[in-house]
Chains A and B, each alone.
Chain A
Amino acid sequence: MQRISLKMAGESGMGLLSTGQILSRAMKKLGFYIVSDREYPSLIKGGYSCMQIDFSDEKIHSLSTGTDVIVAFDRHGLLEYIDTLKDGGILIHGYERHNLIPALKEKIEKKNLKVIYLPARELAFALGGDELMVNMILLGILWKVLGLDYTDLEAQVSIQFASKPKLLEIDLKCIKAGYEAKETDGVSMAVKKPAQVPDTILIDGTRSICLGAIQAGVRCFFAYPMSPASGILTYLAAKSHETGMVIKQAEDEITAIQMTIGAMFMGTRSFTSTSGGGYDLMTETISLSGMTETPLVVVIGQRPGPATGLPTWTCQGDLNLAMHSSHGEFPRVVIGCSDPTSSYELMQHAFNIAEKYQVPVIVLTEKVVLESHLTVAPFQENLIPIERGLVTDPAELNALTNSDRFKITPDGVSKRWLPGTSPAYYYGNSDEHLESGVLTEEADTVKAMVEKRMKKTETIQQALPDPQIYGDEKGADISFVGWGSTKNAVLDAINSAKNEGVKINYLHYDYVYPLKKDAAVRFFENNNNVHLVEGNFEGQLGKLIEHATEKKFKGKYLKYNGRPFFVDDILQYAKNN
């Protein structure tokens, strides 16, 4: 298996994203599997940022820490990421004043780096371009160094700039100048093209969530922007002409979730998305959903907190928030997305669960999941049928009585029908109520209604699928348990370690709450070196599992510095434990 890790680094606003996109799309067309993510500060221009692209001829899911090639767009790019280069790695740049940085020289010598320098700015101007065309020259050099054919890159660039023929001409000149530069002589990684081009899509978690929602029949979307969830609002708004979805940017998060619950009560499918801080404002409405048994779906794109925290970085710190937010006691479901495919599918399941059991469903995702692009199998339509649990048969609607709406049933789930569809109306009452929704404060009835609603936790817990085991079920040298994006690094570690004869297995929770604890108990019984891997300080899932199973993790690998888990993180931890 060949796995190569590239970084493009420079000031924010220098076109890193579009250059990275061209490169990863060109690689995808050649049949490579790709994972890419962007590190950037919370500002629009300036500050350093970096796009990392790992690619391989086999399926990969995460990024690695060591870099094979860095393409530095400017001084920042040169200095901020050079330490991540492997010994003997390649540094491509166009910074004219590099000789004036003694520290750079030292590092190059110490790491024995191969440096390819071209006065790219000068060259770009000479070719009729401007400052931004430096990207294209460096991209040309990179493509040559990888050892790939010029025509494959040319084809992708031509697609990307098809609507701007003038620009395209200069872009191609710049790329060619980079590709043909004599400075690359003797430096080639001789990357082998995959024998076959698999049928894949290259997509990020943001758009996957949106496509899942569209496929699930969502017809109204209300949100207030907050990183890293804003992309959901942007994409759904951009596609509203195709989908016909009603989109409203609300005046605040409280409004967004209230509009959502209003739309769900009326009977369409609707959701809202935010990050932890915005969700804090929404929590009262989660409780309202619990009491009125109105289905609700909320997406939280996690970033490190508390308070404003690190707006453009990643973490898994809001599991406790999702599980415990809101006053009072009521059933709820918490789901964690890990990659594009799970984002697409879990969004659809989220709506089915919310509607069938009439509960709030909180879908957790993370900056790294929302913004990482992965090559995955094309999403399937009609894979997950829409299940709404609604009374729609006209005869049955006519036969309903008011108190059917919140009737006490063995599984806690009562009939639900949409306002206006039956002469038997009901009251969606945030006050404690009778089966018809009429307010009550009578002790025995209150008790019965609380028990009716809480019964649904058990009903849902039984209905939810078990967590997934990756690797062998039992007898691993080291085992991990986790949720969300940690899956990606562990999956890559399982494959990597296998080559070295080390057996790793992994228990992954898509449905985190209510916890499927029996599966965890079995996993502990079948494996004797079980560790938690989680992107927060407290080990929130770990505590939930330890409390429910009375088992103890051998160790907890916790990361809370704003960065995701990399494959080498897991391998190193496995080696030490």
Chain B
Amino acid sequence: MPKTTKKSDTTLLGEKSGLYKLYETDQVITWCAGCGNYGIQNALKRALTLENFDIKDVLFVFDIGCNGNGSDKIGGYTFHGLHGRTIPAASGASLANPKLKVISSGGDGASMSEGINHLVHAVRSNYPMMFIHHNNLNYALTTGQASATTKRGFPMNSSPDGVIIDPINPTEFVLNLNPTFVARSFSGDIKHMTKIMRQALKHKGFAYVEILQVCPTYNKATPQKWYLDRVKYLEDLKEYKPNNLEKAKKYSHDMENEIYLGVFYKDEKQPNFYERLEYRKNLQTSPVEEVQAYPIKELLKEFT
């Protein structure tokens, strides 16, 4: 067999720079220096480019928070909604037009507090969309209150004596919801995030991606170095395959010493919500293309 050399991401991005450029804007960024959002947005642009998404193929739906403040700093159609509600808005959009890739982004509030019910039911419903959970262990835009992922004992703006309740481990939580795609990455590793996001973009159901995100301003507890000392990669485990929920839960559990990153679980066979609508099987169109006066004559018959 002739040997093919695989092009590096950098080479490919160079070749596709025209596409990549579309996601760039001239807007002044308002994130703090050292914020994890720079890396996350960069990885997302790379992943979209490498997967050949034009800006016309994507809808970004943002929550309120620091990451949402980037909603007008990226090229493309965006919807910057209400706090805690990015998932339901995005899921409605994804059902209206499954031909566009809907990428929803939210922080700890949208994922684990005010919006946790939406996350639970979106996982259950397996909507055709991707969700990026920016887990920076606090509410930064409101100046550093505890979130549901803040570690116990750490003093925050709203809990000066230290948080007295235990945090939720988001990836472990989602793995308990019978999901179809769960992954975790780290804002300090653009290459890894890009790899994870590319897989999430290809997933046809609900893709949950947790990003452990540094917050140099309000999260002094787990800075960049803290993560670098602890992150491990599932990819490095020869025996690990993302097809076993119990094993996935086991590897996702530790958030103190060995924090695993990678795709924990993936089930490509489960049809997404849209595909489960048997009665739409024969329709080639999506709801955005179907707005026209539907006949009611037949339906009226039972009232005559």
Contact = CB atoms under 8 A, between A and B. Distances in A.
Interface of A: 200-203, 207, 211, 214-217, 219-220, 222, 239-244, 246, 248, 250-252, 254-255, 258-270, 284-285, 288, 292, 378-379, 381-382, 385-386, 388, 418-423, 425-431, 433, 437-439
A255 B118 contact: yes
B243 interface: no
Contacts of B71: 427, 429
Given A216-B293, A240-B279, A262-B89, A288 B287 contact: no
B266 interface: no
A200 B82 CA distance: 46
Given A258-B118, A262-B92, A267-B96, 8 more contacts: A215-B293, A217-B290, A220-B95, A265-B93, A288-B82, A381-B293, A419-B59, A428-B80
Contact of B300 (A241, A378, A438, A439): A378
Contacts of B303: 201-203, 207
B118 A266 contact: no
A216 B299 CA distance: 14
B294 A214 contact: yes
B224 interface: no
B80 A388 contact: no
30 contacts: A201-B300, A211-B300, A215-B293, A217-B290, A217-B293, A219-B288, A242-B298, A246-B280, A252-B117, A255-B121, A259-B95, A262-B91, A262-B92, A263-B93, A264-B96, A266-B92, A266-B97, A268-B96, A268-B291, A269-B291, A379-B300, A386-B293, A419-B77, A426-B77, A427-B79, A427-B80, A428-B77, A428-B79, A430-B81, A430-B82
A262 B72 contact: no
Nearest to A438: B72
A381 to B, nearest CB: 6
Given A240-B279, A430-B64, A259 B294 contact: no
A418 B294 CA distance: 21
B100 interface: yes
A263 B96 contact: yes
Contact of B85 (A254, A266, A270, A429): A254
A211 B88 CA distance: 26
A422 B294 CA distance: 27
Interface in B267-304: 273-274, 277, 279-280, 283, 286-288, 290-300, 303-304
B291 A388 contact: yes
Given A211-B300, A425-B55, A420 B77 contact: yes
Given A251-B117, A379-B300, A429 B80 contact: yes
A263 B287 contact: yes
A263 B92 contact: yes
Contact of B294 (A241, A243, A385, A430): A243
A527 B94 CA distance: 54
A382 B286 CA distance: 22
Given A285-B82, A419-B59, A258 B92 contact: yes
A420 B93 contact: no
B288 A268 contact: yes
Output the residue of A203, A211, A429 with the most chain B CB within 10 A. Answer: A429
Output the residue of A386, A420, A439 with the most chain B CB within 10 A. Answer: A420
B66 to A, nearest CB: 13
A246 B277 contact: yes
A423 B22 CA distance: 10
Interface in B9-36: 27
Contacts of A378: 300, 304
B88 A268 contact: no
Nearest to A259: B92
Nearest to B303: A201
B57 interface: yes
Interface in B63-112: 64, 69, 71-72, 75-82, 85, 88-97, 100
B225 interface: no
Given A252-B117, A292-B79, A419 B100 contact: yes
A220 B293 contact: no
B93 A262 contact: yes
A201 B296 CA distance: 13
B215 interface: no
A53 B294 CA distance: 32
A270 B85 CA distance: 18
A215 B294 contact: yes
B6 interface: no
B304 to A, nearest CB: 6
A349 B196 CA distance: 46
Nearest to A420: B56
Output the residue of A259, A262, A428 with the most chain B CB within 10 A. Answer: A262
Given A246-B280, A438-B27, A438-B72, A251 B121 contact: yes
Contacts of A381: 293, 295-297
B80 A267 contact: no
Contacts of A422: 56
B209 interface: no
